[in-house]
Structure 1
Amino acid sequence: MTRIDSHQHFWRYTPQDHPWMSDDMGVLKQDLLPERLRPSLQRHVIQGTILVQARSCPNETRWLLDIAEKTDFVRAVTGWVDLSSQALPKKLEAASHPLLRGFRHQVQDEPSPAQWLADTAINNGLRQLQQQEYVYEILVTHRHLAEAVQFAGRHDNYFLVLDHCGKPDLSRGAAHWKKQIAPLAALKHVSCKISGLLTEPRPPGMSPRDLLPYFDAALDIFGSERLMFGSDWPVCLLAGEDENPWAFIEQATAALSDDEQAAIYGGNAHTVYRLQETSNESASAK
């Protein structure tokens, strides 16, 4: 079974480039690059990753692709592009690269995520992405899942992926989140990344074990064929050394069949991101 981490980041830290990092995120305010991640991948037998943008900047996309070319375990890149640009076709042509398989925008950080998701230019841009078979990753919180459903419903010509389970409100419980997310799960072109749960704000006393019902709910409505494991490294470092996403997913999937585990750990990422077209060596080969 090929194990893929479908969601990780790299960056060279500067305050102006990473304004989303608050004062209590000191562990993230440093350069975090491939050789810092490699030991964790080897320890948990992860053979490849999807490298995802962390800045809304076209220069970062090129930088991530440069890293991917030199890093044996990076199998694909999710970059950034201005979907509203009238020059989008030219921008896509300029960004084209064998390892570029998708795009993302931090919709959650927009002044009005709902307005962004409904914007005509944005929606026209996404249609162009899907025509070229680029995956689009949706990054919203639980506050805008309803608008995300409408957005996803307009764009069913290629794969969409919901990041971080839609960032559920953990204070309201898994049953509430399941009701929120069910309309998205009903759209068969939408997959969900099991990522980011460990760093969402938790009610006092909530442990990683208490997050397992969220995985169970996702499995029930998306099925193992539309779930993907993602560490969200290095953001996952905010949870502390004793709470890591690799241990969480191993616990969550322990009772599943070999086929179900294989799908969540890599099979689905292979399909969505066309990893069979990537020739990078595995991280564990070195």
Structure 2
Amino acid sequence: MRIDSHQHFWRYTPQDYRWIGDDMAVLKQDVLPETLRPTLQRHDIQGTVLVQACSSVQETRWLLELAGQHDFVRAVTGWVDLSSPGLEQELDTISHPLLRGFRHQVQDEPAPAQWLADPAINAGLRQLQQKGYVYEILVTHRHLTDAVKFAKRHDDYFLVLDHFGKPDLSRGAAHWKQQVAPLAGLKHVSCKLSGLLTEPRPAGMSARDLLPYFEAALEIFGAERLMVGSDWPVCLLADVDENPWDLCEQATATLSTDEQAAIYGGNACTIYRLQPLPITGND
């Protein structure tokens, strides 16, 4: 199974998706499964991990409904308030066979370092890991050191770093490698090869100039802890001649068949406990 480990759906409302700015017109619309399906078929992707895009349990319930209706959605990463005193009851309420993990947009917090260190947040994450839920870490390069401290406290189950940890592309791949190496040193942490195309680039930097980041990720995480993710539809903000699938194909072209199989699906199947595709389905 080839798996896109990171994609989104939403029914767009400005109040729910405040991170979508005025310069992101292509995202200011409903984004639904029928829109994505042709793209998945074109790139030979058989399944996806559907990831939350706003801090809402209601959105998580809706994503789970969609997942139940469309066979290509193999797992959902939802949202829940980790600091809630009623977290255990909330988890029971939203429990679903396809709910495999959670995420919070820590990068949008006023003080991400403080959020990552919050005792209530950390107590909540311990509950998630005890129940076998993956947790995805969404921070920028500014808070990778704080993410390391956070990850060291939570090694009972898989943690996943989204979007390479959003590198500062102006500093280069060697700098990013140095920043993220402590996270890569934690064997319960994996990394999504996603999001680079839409990070701010220095003038003149092409998509091909991003390949050293993939090379660095392979060196420090190894093929056994990397997953390809499109970040669709956010990836549509990139230039029209750039797409994450082609970029990943270039980055992995020289790897062995086994390494490619791991990055393109095997690792996602392990981390998110994905089941084999049914012989027949509604997609």
Short-chain TM bin:
over 0.9
**TM-score normalized by the length of structure 1:** 0.97
Secondary structure at the residue paired with 1:209? helix
Partner of 2:261: 262
Secondary structure at the residue paired with 1:170? coil
Q: Deviations over 1:192-235 (max 9, x none)?
A: 00000000000000001000000000000000000000000000
**Post-superposition offset of 1:241:** 2.4
**Post-superposition offset of 1:240:** 2.8
Q: Deviations over 1:222-281 (max 9, x none)?
A: 0000000000000000003210000000010000000000000000000000002x6566
Q: What is the identity, as a one-letter code, of the residue corresponding to 1:163? A: D
Partner of 1:150: 149
Distance 1:247 1:264 in 2: 14
Pairs within 5 Å for 1:45-194 = 45-194=44-193
Counterpart check, 1:5 vs 2:4? yes
Secondary structure at the residue paired with 1:161? strand
**Post-superposition offset of 1:282:** 8.3
Distance 1:160 1:167 in 2: 16
Q: Deviations over 1:163-191 (max 9, x none)?
A: 00000000000000000000000000000
Q: Deviations over 1:121-155 (max 9, x none)?
A: 00000000000000000000000000000000000
Partner of 1:208: 207
Q: What is the identity, as a one-letter code, of the residue corresponding to 1:61? A: T
Partner of 1:18: 17
Aligned residues: 283
Structure 1 residues 59 and 150 mapped into 2: Cα distance closer, same or farther (>3 Å)? same
Structure 1 residues 61 and 282 mapped into 2: Cα distance closer, same or farther (>3 Å)? farther
**Post-superposition offset of 1:82:** 0.3
The alignment yields a C-alpha RMSD, in angstroms, of 1.3
Hey, which bits of structure 1, 4+ residues long, moved more than 6 A?
Answer: none
Distance 1:161 1:205 in 2: 31
Partner of 1:27: 26
**8 Å Cα contact 1:51-1:74 kept in structure 2:** yes
Q: Which has the higher contact order (CA 8 A, sep 6+)?
A: 1
Q: Gaps (5+ residues) in structure 1?
A: none
Distance 2:149 2:278 in 1: 37
**Post-superposition offset of 1:72:** 1.5
Q: Deviations over 1:83-106 (max 9, x none)?
A: 000101000000100000000000
Distance 2:238 2:34 in 1: 21
Structure 1 residues 31 and 280 mapped into 2: Cα distance closer, same or farther (>3 Å)? farther
Secondary structure at the residue paired with 1:256? coil
Fraction of identical pairs, as percent: 77
Counterpart check, 1:245 vs 2:253? no
Distance 1:15 1:124 in 2: 32
**TM-score normalized by the length of structure 2:** 0.98
Structure 1 residues 251 and 153 mapped into 2: Cα distance closer, same or farther (>3 Å)? same
**8 Å Cα contact 1:73-1:280 kept in structure 2:** no
Distance 2:127 2:280 in 1: 32
Q: What is the identity, as a one-letter code, of the residue corresponding to 2:166? A: K
Q: What is the identity, as a one-letter code, of the residue corresponding to 2:48? A: T
Secondary structure at the residue paired with 2:67? helix
Secondary structure at the residue paired with 2:240? coil
**8 Å Cα contact 1:72-1:282 kept in structure 2:** no
Structure 1 residues 279 and 30 mapped into 2: Cα distance closer, same or farther (>3 Å)? same
Distance 1:252 1:176 in 2: 19
Partner of 1:227: 226
Q: Deviations over 1:6-27 (max 9, x none)?
A: 0000001111111111110000
**8 Å Cα contact 1:3-1:45 kept in structure 2:** yes
Q: What is the identity, as a one-letter code, of the residue corresponding to 1:98? A: P
Q: Gaps (5+ residues) in structure 2?
A: none
